[in-house]
Amino acid sequence: MRKIRVAAALAAVSIIISGQPRAEQPSGAFVLKSVRTFDGESMHEGWAVRVKGDRIEAVGPAASIDVSGAKLIDLGGATLLPGLVEGHSHVLLHAYSETSWNDQVEHEPLALRVARATNHLRSTLLAGFTTIRDLGTEGAGYADVGLKMAVNEGIIPGPRMLVVTRAIVATGTYGPKGFVPEWTVPQGGEETSGQDIIRVVRDQISRGADWIKLYGDYRWGPHPGSHPTFSLEEMKWAVETAHDAGVPVAVHTSTPEGMRRAILAGADTIEHGNDGTPEIFKMMAEHHVALCPTLTAGGGTRRPGQPESPMRARRREVFASALAAGVTILSGSDVGTFPHGDNARELEAMVDFGMSPQAALKAATSTAGEVLRMDIGEVKAGKFADLIAVDGDPSKEISAIRRVRFVMKGGTIYKQ
Ligand SMILES: [Zn+2]
């Protein structure tokens, strides 16, 4: 185990040494040429993209693109596409197969968690994910705000970050739990009840939250499984307060009742939705609430030849009913529960569960740009020059997104 860790650390160091001097400042102009370009919506052949500063200046058939004063980058037979978006990450967590959530929250000092997170951010960017929505520090306070600053100031390489700080949980429902009742143990999220949720939302926004994350249900109380936490009224207070500041709200919820409350409260996205029913998904579509399905977190991946578990079969059925209801899908994996940089798993899982590869790509690019309200996810003039190139054609074989040859974020090249 220790040997593996040292090897991994050395590999990471060599990336820093060999990778950083190559990053180019986004002052000049580039023209990127490739055989295939996925623009966020559909595939085009023989296109070129002109980048100026941190934005895309022009896109179209190669012959129509002005190459004057630009550095030409020929990506050959690779597919050019928008930088991918991870809709649900936890950069301050590492794989549960290494260390359980409880042990990370209870025994890993903040500095250790931040040190790991800097590696996670680099792996994520080099895997072609140029934006993440990080949905909770899970006991690591406001460290996501500082990490985002470090990326934006060019101190460490990483994707664009939307952060939520501590996430909001109903009093007594979250973890770590299981201690003697006389002890009050610090929690992995910020606890609140009643109208105090208004204060907590405002406080988190003042400390740098771009989104608010609520836990709308959780495993709590005397009975097994998840049960609703916040009342509809509490959720409404939270959503109204966040929306006043132009801050959207993501709600972790898997029970039909938790999902129903989130929809009626005006939430912008629902995370997981594991037990969503056709009626609930219809409601989501009608209220324009997007679903971030995190199929990977619920045992979504399967090795070839491995039989399908009952849990996985159930998730397949639920995801199919969300698609049938026309719910907007934002690709998000809950990475952090599994290794950072392996975010492609979610797109593979969505395809395995019945989505077309092109629809899966859309969920991680143009749809993500819309749901996250950012100028990203499209190869289109005026959008941020977040562009990647992969070997092969991911609209035919989704796993091609693992073969990342080129990564540009905001006009700066991080991998070539
Ligand atoms: Zn999560």
Q: What pLDDT does residue 281 have?
A: 98
pLDDT level of residue 304 (50, 70, 90 thresholds): low
Neighbours of ion ligand 1 (CB under 5 A): 334
CA 215 to ligand 1 center in whole angstroms: 10
pLDDT at 19 over 90: no
Rounded mean pLDDT of 91-104? 97
Same domain, 281 and 152: yes
Q: Is the residue at 351 inside a domain?
A: no
d(CA 23, CA 44) in angstroms, rounded, equals 28
**Lowest mean pLDDT, pick from 7-16, 70-79, 86-95:** 7-16
In angstroms, the Cα distances linking 21 to 11, 128, 415 are 16, 19, 11
Same domain, 290 and 396: no
CA 346 to ligand 1 center in whole angstroms: 13
Which residues partner with 30 through β-bridges? 51, 71
Same domain, 275 and 394: no
Which residues partner with 50 through β-bridges? 31, 58
pLDDT at 408 over 90: yes
DSSP 3-state percent helix, strand, coil across the chain (nearest 5): 35, 25, 45
What are 178-233's pLDDT values in tens digits?
A: 999 999 999 999 999 999 999 999 999 999 999 999 999 999 999 999 999 999 99
Q: Is the residue at 366 inside a domain?
A: no
Strand 36-38 relative to strand 79-82: parallel, antiparallel, unpaired? parallel
Strand 55-61 relative to strand 47-52: parallel, antiparallel, unpaired? antiparallel
Token pair for 32: 């990127």
What are 120-166's pLDDT values in tens digits?
A: 999 999 999 999 999 999 999 999 999 999 999 999 999 999 999 99
Q: What pTM did the predictor assign?
A: 0.93
CA 217 to ligand 1 center in whole angstroms: 13
Residue type, 297: A
CA 392 to ligand 1 center in whole angstroms: 31
Give the residue numbers spanning the domain of 269.
84-342
**CA 80 to the chain's CA centroid:** 20
Same domain, 277 and 403: no
**Lowest mean pLDDT, pick from 11-20, 154-163, 239-248:** 11-20
Maximum Cα–Cα distance for the chain, whole Å? 73
Same domain, 88 and 73: no
Q: In what order do the strands lie in the sheet with 129-134?
A: 84-89, 129-134, 160-163
pLDDT level of residue 20 (50, 70, 90 thresholds): very low
Q: Is the residue at 365 inside a domain?
A: no
pLDDT level of residue 16 (50, 70, 90 thresholds): very low
**Percentage of the chain modeled with pLDDT above 70:** 92
Q: Across the chain, what does the average pLDDT equal?
A: 93
Same domain, 72 and 110: no
d(CA 303, CA 306) in angstroms, rounded, equals 5
Same domain, 250 and 326: yes
Same domain, 138 and 217: yes
CA 280 to ligand 1 center in whole angstroms: 21
CATH of residue 399: 2.30.40.10
Q: Is the residue at 31 inside a domain?
A: yes
Q: What pLDDT does residue 3 have?
A: 39
Last residue of a domain, one of 342, 362, 389: 342
- Altogether, the residues listed in the chain come to a count of 416
pLDDT at 391 over 90: yes
Q: Is the residue at 1 inside a domain?
A: no
Rounded mean pLDDT of 249-268? 98
What are 349-390's pLDDT values in tens digits?
A: 999 999 999 999 999 999 999 999 999 999 999 999 999 999
Q: What pLDDT does residue 375 have?
A: 98
DSSP 184: -
Query: Which among 295, 304, 305, 228 is positioned nearest to 263, based on CA atoms?
Result: 228
Q: What pLDDT does residue 13 have?
A: 37
Same domain, 76 and 128: no
pLDDT at 272 over 90: yes
Q: What pLDDT does residue 15 have?
A: 40
What are 22-56's pLDDT values in tens digits?
A: 454 556 899 999 999 999 999 999 999 999 999 99
In angstroms, the Cα distances linking 216 to 62, 238, 411 are 49, 11, 39
pLDDT level of residue 307 (50, 70, 90 thresholds): confident
Q: Tokens 């569960």, residue?
A: 353
- The answer to whether the CB of 203 falls within 8 A of the CB of 142 is no
CA 51 to ligand 1 center in whole angstroms: 34
CA 271 to ligand 1 center in whole angstroms: 8
In angstroms, the Cα distances linking 70 to 52, 243, 378 are 9, 42, 21
Same domain, 272 and 254: yes
CA 6 to ligand 1 center in whole angstroms: 28
Q: Is the residue at 156 inside a domain?
A: yes
**CA 320 to the chain's CA centroid:** 21
Q: What pLDDT does residue 303 have?
A: 66
Q: How many CB atoms lie within 10 A of CB 287?
A: 12
Same domain, 74 and 88: no
Last residue of a domain, one of 295, 327, 342: 342
CA 229 to ligand 1 center in whole angstroms: 16
Number of domains composing the chain = 2
CA 36 to ligand 1 center in whole angstroms: 34
Same domain, 132 and 265: yes
Strand 212-215 relative to strand 47-52: parallel, antiparallel, unpaired? unpaired
Q: Is the residue at 269 inside a domain?
A: yes
CATH of residue 121: 3.20.20.140
